[in-house]
Amino acid sequence: MTESKLPSKENFSEWYHELLKAGQIIDVRYPVKGMCVWYPSGFALKRNVYDLMRVLLDPDHQETQFPLLIPETEFMKEAEHIKGFEDEVYWVTHGGTSPLDIKLALRPTSETAIYPIFKLWVRSHADLPLKIYQIVNTFRYETKHTRPLIRLREITSFKEAHTVHASWEEAAEQVEAALTIYAEFYRRLAIPFLFAKRPSWDKFPGSDYSIALDTVMPDGRTLQIGTAHLLGTNFATTYDITFENEAGEQEFVNQTCYGVSERCIAALISVHGDDKGLVLPWSVAPVQVVIVPILFKEKEATLEVCRDIKAKLAAAGIRVEIDEGDERPGAKFYRWEMKGVPIRIEIGPRDIKNGVAVLARRDGKKLTVSLDDLQTTILNEAADLHEVMLARAQAFQESRVKDCETVEEAKEQTQAGVARVGWCGLEDCGHAIEDEVGAAVLGEPWRSEETYQGSCVICGAKTEKCALLARQY
Ligand code: A5A
Ligand code: ZN
């Protein structure tokens, strides 16, 4: 394995790309733009992250799988949806050398694959609510600059949920339930975020409204790491999805959908990583504890103790490895730090004599622990480390979100992070904000407890509405 020197995180973009390689997450050398290869260790991380997603969804959703290819005839039915996606669709036009009668789209997302089948599955109010999800690859011919894990043409790990309800209000409640699930998902990854209701010109094509989660990246630009959409009856009317209500009448269903992609891994790497490499949350780290034996004398006896500790920790459900290689301890520390392992245990002959080990956390905290309490101490330190990581990330985010009174101030603030400005809510003023500030309107804060009082930065009208602005990935 080659050891590469990581640039400082100050040079975020270089640092990010180098870390994907040095941390063995993604190999970007695949010869199709926007399509990347998961290294086995990156895949192991991804699997743990998506297992967590499954744990959160499974109590109230059923996992399923729909086909990758969508007939043009189905894809082209919903006008708004087509307008939003037509420039991004890959088409399959041939089977072997024969042109297909009906072209097939590679799903950019699966509404048009799933909803014709929902029409068959939903008959009466007894079939509702229906809540399914799938974790699949989707394809988007992105024309903006592609970036590994962030803007892909093959999204390998698109988690999309689709739900069907008897009323608009019930669907709106489901959007909130989805946001609560995503909030918990990101809490367990120690990633802070902002909720924003996307402006009308940036909602999901075919939705009534879209709520997004945005996280602030180290360079102050935001990354949209999840979205939940209220679809209302827009797709139901197109695909004729109806149910018989309790009064025996046919009614259109109301729908939602919500999605998360491997951008969650991009956020994980970017928010927590440091100049030494990855910093992985305990909840998803493929290796949670690495034992590094300090082998200068009594080699076999030391290894014996280490193997015994490993067996005990593994039996307690901890993902633990022992590094028995020939390198010097310093070289091993360097490598496991790069991989982001949350806790390292160092044990040498003298420690064994004293019945202790040195525990080093990935955030730099070091302590000497009695071997008798090792397991309990590890679990306590892991829990504390999570809180420290979350608090640090939250403090960073808070430092990068500021109220601004003028376009000029907002222009400056969006170089560093997110600006909050008064916005009367009119579309014209919204577009003017984007043009004059040179940043995107993320939307109005959602689920915010504060009430805003100010005036629109464009027209000056007094308003209780505000908008978050940022330069976006
Ligand atoms: N059907 C709904 C859920 C949907 O497609 N929503 S979405 O278009 O907003 O995509 C869901 C999430 O996927 C986005 O919030 C974003 O985090 C992620 N995403 C979108 N395009 C992406 C791309 N090209 N590469 C990686 N992630 C992407
Ligand atoms: Zn205005």
Q: Is the CB of 204 under 6 A from ligand 1?
A: yes
CA of 427 to the centre of ligand 2 (A): 8
Which ligand is in closest contact with the Cα of 186?
A: 1
| Cβ–Cβ under 8 Å, residues 359 and 297 | no
Residue 299: how many CB atoms within 10 A of its CB? 12
Q: 260 CA to middle of ligand 1, Å?
A: 6
- Any idea which ligand is nearest the CA of 160? 1
Q: Judge contact between 265 and 226, C-beta under 8 A.
A: no
8 Å CB contact between 25 and 295: no
Q: Best of 131, 135, 255, 263 to mutate for ligand 1, by most ligand atoms within 8 A of CB?
A: 263
| pLDDT at residue 298, as a whole number | 83
| φ, ψ (nearest 5 deg) of residue 29 | -85, 5
Of all ligands present, the nearest one to the C-alpha of 431 is 2
Measured distance CA(416)–CA(401) in Å, rounded: 9
Q: Which domains does the chain have, with CATH numbers?
A: 12-272 (3.30.930.10), 289-384 (3.40.50.800), 401-470 (3.30.110.30)
Q: Please state the atom number of ligand 1 nearest to the C-alpha of residue 259.
A: 3
Ligand nearest to the CA of 178: 1
Paired with 215 in beta bridges are 223
How distant, in Å, are the alpha carbons of 59, 168, 289, 380 from that of 315?
A: 27, 49, 13, 17
Contact 88 CB / ligand 1 (< 6 Å): no
> Per residue in 366-393, is it b (16+ CB within 10 Å) or e — as a string?
eeebebeebbebbbebbeebbeebbebb
pLDDT at residue 2, as a whole number: 47
Whole-number CA gyration radius for the chain: 25
Q: What are φ and ψ of residue 60, in 5° steps?
A: -130, 10
Taking the centre of ligand 2 as the mean of its atom positions, its distance from the CA of residue 437, in whole angstroms, is: 14
Atom of ligand 1 nearest to the CA of 210: 9
Q: Is 199 in the pocket of ligand 1 (CB under 6 A)?
A: no
pLDDT, tens digit only, all 473 positions of the chain: 445 589 999 999 999 999 999 999 999 999 999 999 999 999 999 999 999 999 999 999 999 999 999 999 999 998 898 999 999 999 999 999 999 999 999 999 999 999 999 999 999 999 999 999 999 999 999 999 999 999 999 999 999 999 999 999 999 999 999 999 999 999 999 999 999 999 999 999 999 999 999 999 999 999 999 999 999 999 999 999 999 999 999 999 999 999 999 999 999 999 999 999 999 999 999 999 999 999 888 899 999 999 999 999 999 999 999 999 999 999 999 999 999 999 999 999 999 999 999 999 999 999 999 999 999 999 999 999 999 999 999 999 999 999 999 999 999 999 999 999 999 999 999 999 999 999 999 999 999 988 999 999 999 999 999 999 999 99
Strand partners, 213: 195, 226
Q: What's the CA gap between 433 and 340, in Å, rounded? A: 40
Strands 343-347 and 289-293: parallel
Q: How far is Cα 450 from Cα 429, in angstroms, rounded to an integer?
A: 23
Whether the CB-CB separation of 41 and 24 falls below 8 Å is answered with yes
Residue reference for tokens 């024969």: 98
Provide the strand spans (E) within 98-147: 98-106, 130-139
* DSSP secondary structure letter of residue 228: E
Task: Say if strands 440-445 and 466-470 run parallel, antiparallel, or are unpaired.
Answer: antiparallel
Pairing of strands 418-422, 401-403: parallel
**Ligand 1 proximity of 109 Cβ (cutoff 6 Å):** yes
Nearest CA residue ID for atom 4, ligand 1? 259
261 lines ligand 1 (CB under 6 A): yes
Give CA angle at 413 (407, 415), nearest 5°.
110
For the chain, give the number of residues: 473
Distance between CA atoms of 424 and 434, rounded to whole angstroms? 14
Distance of CA 276 to the CA centre of its chain: 22
In the numeric block, which tokens belong to residue 299? 């080699």
